[in-house]
Amino acid sequence: MAHVARALSALLLILATFGVAPATAADDSLRASVLRVDTTQFPWRDVYVSVSDPRGLPITGLGRDAFTVSEDGASQPIERFSVINDSQVPIAFGLIMDVSGSMNDEGKLEAAKGAARQLVAALGPADSAAVISFGDKAAVVQGYTSNHDDLNAAIDSLQAGGNTALYDAVLQSTLISQALPQMLKVQFIVTDGQDTKSSAHLNDVLHTLQSGPSVVYAVGLGHDVDRSVLDQITHSASGDALYTDDPSTLASAFQSVLNQLRLAYLLRYRSPVPSSASSASSASSDGVPHSVSADVHYQGEAAQAASTFTAASNAVAIDVTGLTPGETVSGDRQVRASLRSGTAQRIDMLVDGTTAASSDGQPTSIVTELEGLSPGDHDLAIRVADSVGAETVQHVPFMVPSAATPEPIATPEATPESQTRFPLTDAPWSWLVWLPGLLILLLLALLALVIARTRKRGTVSPQVAAVATDDTTLELAAPLIPAAGGDVDTPRVRVEVDGQQQDVPLGADPVSIGRDADNTLVLHDPHVSRHHARITLDDGDYWIEDLKSQNGTLLNGQVAIDRRRLELGDQFAIGSATVTYLGQAPAVSPSDSNGVSPAAAEPRVPSAAA
């Protein structure tokens, strides 16, 4: 009942912004709500409380003596008291935006983007925000920053299409917030549907939120929202969910939550939970639900805010040896997961969701073999159940390349017994045996000399098809332009991999970049997506477009959001390759010593309309 009362009071505060009239006598009294209980700093507990008047407007100016706090019914002294606006505690907002195809309907996405821009405008100098989108997959469009221009650019770039990977987005938003310093962390979900695409499960999300310091709010748009799921997600993180059919109310919902957080009171007390004999920190992982209540007195009225929480688990940390994320694995591989801190009841290693190894009885490490896997992308998951049974999962993606077909082994013909055998080295013509090998070595030496001289002159033959580095191979399906000479009216880009450069012409046809063989530029790099990016000609200008790649495309050192027009000298990074837009390409004189003429390169040029 205490949890229900807390949820209703917070929800009523939001509803007040929408003009919903009070319906019960309880609405005529002082209101208080526990926004969040942070248990991660054991033995300290930080309780964030909002107080509002009967109209739902926040009440300011309260002091320490207006509050009392209790845990499990026992009153506790307030060791620290502050108002969020007056303290140095910043707020970090994670904007988790649904960009599935249905968000195009009824102006839902545009309304969500407008509300997000208003929230950015209201951020204080110590606040930060991030933009996380989810359609077919979750993506960090903009990491946590205080730069309003970067945040607005990320919001403006959102486009709808695809399915709904809600669970993955919540987990990814929580993950990137963990790197932030100690602060109030708020996640705000906007969605019009239910999860249809995530690799994670709802239980993964609930466990992560229950043990983390974020508070989660959500707005569900329309009739297709899975209300049960949003209620579970928000209530597990001390937040609330609001449902509406009118996208235009989103801005009011954002502002209501911001007002509520801005005027929260921070009450810190020391937990009465005793330390165990083994470790003081282990008391924070007792796994037992606790109740906390905050009583507030204001102008002769009183209100109580109550909530329940389970103390954060004694966090386990895992070290993985033998495999790094995104690595290409050729042949069999032994991988070990070791417990760096914490206590585990059980450790499981799963390959593509199938258990490969398990260990229980307070294990400290576990080993598995990666063998017999088909070519393609794979996932190794290490799942650890801690001392109270709470599970932590760490994923390590990797790739198995296509295996080359082995050459057949020649079987020597048997020599008939009737033939005379003798060593060739004893025959007078034995030196002829070595003649073919000597000729081959001579030809290879001549070829190496030609290549060395060509590189020294700084020119490249148009027949060159690949540049190999330690980790990356670049295949160019487009004709090459040598990097020397005068001017030719041909736009181009320069591709650099490990110090090797190749110029690639741009024309009316798109230039695709990725790991698959059907791209114009093929990068055999585990950090490059199958179809990573594309350069296109549009109304006389060339544009770079990120194709929702896993690791993103960096344009001039910043994440390229969706699609950007290329300016002369722009550089964008894809994996370990750097691509520079050079505009017009230099020509090669017909008398160039490498014998390559401009006609030989056959560059593609833009159409007359360009």
Where does the pLDDT of residue 453 fall: very low under 50, low under 70, confident under 90, or very high at 90 and above?
low
**294 three-state secondary structure:** strand
pLDDT tens digits, residue range 187-198?
999 999 899 989
CB 500 within 8 A of CB 569: no
Neighbours of 51 (CB within 10 A): 23
Where does the pLDDT of residue 463 fall: very low under 50, low under 70, confident under 90, or very high at 90 and above?
very low
Structure token digits, residue 74: 């026992």
For residue 1, pLDDT over 50 is answered with no
Where does the pLDDT of residue 581 fall: very low under 50, low under 70, confident under 90, or very high at 90 and above?
confident
pLDDT tens digits, residue range 254-277?
887 777 777 889 999 998 876 443
Where does the pLDDT of residue 597 fall: very low under 50, low under 70, confident under 90, or very high at 90 and above?
very low
Q: Which of 14-23, 159-168, 210-219 has the lowest mean pLDDT?
A: 14-23
Domains 2-85+266-273+285-310 and 317-400 share a fold: yes
Place of tokens 């990097």: 483
pTM of the model: 0.41
For residue 176, pLDDT over 60 is answered with yes
Single-letter code of the amino acid located at 469: T
Q: Per this entry, what is the length of the chain?
A: 610
Q: Domain 317-400 is of which CATH architecture?
A: Sandwich (2.60)
| CATH code that applies to domain 91-262 | 3.40.50.410
pLDDT tens digits, residue range 4-18?
333 334 444 443 433
pLDDT tens digits, residue range 531-566?
888 999 988 888 888 887 777 787 776 655 678 888
Neighbours of 248 (CB within 10 A): 11
Q: What is the DSSP string of 426-458?
A: GSTTGGGGGHHHHHHHHHHHHHHHHHHHHHHTT
Domain boundaries, the chain: 2-85+266-273+285-310, 91-262, 317-400, 466-601
Where does the pLDDT of residue 61 fall: very low under 50, low under 70, confident under 90, or very high at 90 and above?
confident
Where does the pLDDT of residue 96 fall: very low under 50, low under 70, confident under 90, or very high at 90 and above?
very high
Q: Domain 2-85+266-273+285-310 is of which CATH architecture?
A: Sandwich (2.60)
pLDDT tens digits, residue range 300-345?
999 998 888 776 555 567 888 888 888 888 888 889 988 876 677 8
Contacts of 61 (CB under 8 A, 6+ apart): none
Contacts of 337 (CB under 8 A, 6+ apart): 318, 319, 320, 347, 349, 365, 366, 367, 382, 394
For residue 84, pLDDT over 60 is answered with yes
In the CATH hierarchy, which fold is given to the domain comprising 466-601? Tumour Suppressor Smad4 (2.60.200)
Q: Which residue has the higher pLDDT, 188 or 578?
A: 188
Q: Which residue has the higher pLDDT, 133 or 253?
A: 133
